[in-house]
Structure 1
Amino acid sequence: MSTVPFVTCDLLDDHPEHDLQVVIPSLDGKFFKSYGARKTFGGQIVTVKCFEDNSRVKELLATDGTGKVLVVDGGASMRCALMGDLIAESAVKNHWNGVIIYGCVRDVDAIAALDLGVHALASIPQKSNRKGVGEVDVSLHFGQVTFNSGDYVYADNNGIIVAKGKLVDL
């Protein structure tokens, strides 16, 4: 596993001049949990918005993700998973640093063994539908943060922060 040289708390403290955004846990219990073996990860954001359809997630994670993190707005759906072990294995094979899903994952024991950062709201065994629906490279908003493709995200067990530019070499 690769070692990432940051702690989100320190990034916030060390970069007061940057306009850093911090993902805020919601009062209704929606907060991110870490599922991958890589507990600290970051990279350039690629966004996808999809609701209960992981077609675009699967497609994107099958492409070169060197230095990138896929941020998925699944509408906080708790009815199905947007990523399982096979798609996560594809992400590792294609060098993605991580995946942040505003929704669910499945196959969590297998994902926990993969060198991939994975944050999601919850796990559920139900897979999603695949109808080819979803938007890529759109502005996402959840956790009181705006995620745009090309910006940078940094995540660890303390939380998730977003920056307009690169703060550390990953």
Structure 2
Amino acid sequence: MKTDEGVSANQRGRARAMRRAPTDAELRLWRLLRDRRLSGLKFRRQVPVGPYIVDFLCVASRLIVEADGSQHAENAGDEVRDAYLARQGWKVVRFWNHEVTRNRESVMETILARAASLSDPHPAGFAGPATFSPREKGRNDDAANPFSPREKELQTIGAPNA
């Protein structure tokens, strides 16, 4: 599925530049998602989708993953962006940068659960429960760190209705 139809050459160039200069959280998250490391799911990074550039995208599950810094706190622009992406059939899950750096396994499990709930049927190579590469397993620096109310809200956005 082509995600950048109608995207200007300028926007493609911006996405390329963003891939060359990721934030620390984006780089850490990319190391976990690249090369189908998360249960065989293929993610792309800094991808133009309509007028926006998203951090990470899994076409098979129509999932967008965003790593957000403090500039995104209560940002009305993000709400407009997420509404546009939802109208295009994408589900957006956001994590604060410190969640990515301190709670890797929790972040990965949330991404996997969200992808699994959106994938029907599962994409080829989908392995079910979280499978981490040997390099990443057991590297959770702060597993006991409780989430703030905002973090819980970000994790439950788009959770499947019971």
Q: By the TM > 0.5 criterion, same fold?
A: no
TM-score (norm 1): 0.34
Structure number with the higher helix fraction is 2
Structure number with the higher strand fraction is 1
Structure showing greater Rg: 2
- Which structure has more RCO (C-alpha within 8 Å, separation ≥ 6)? 1
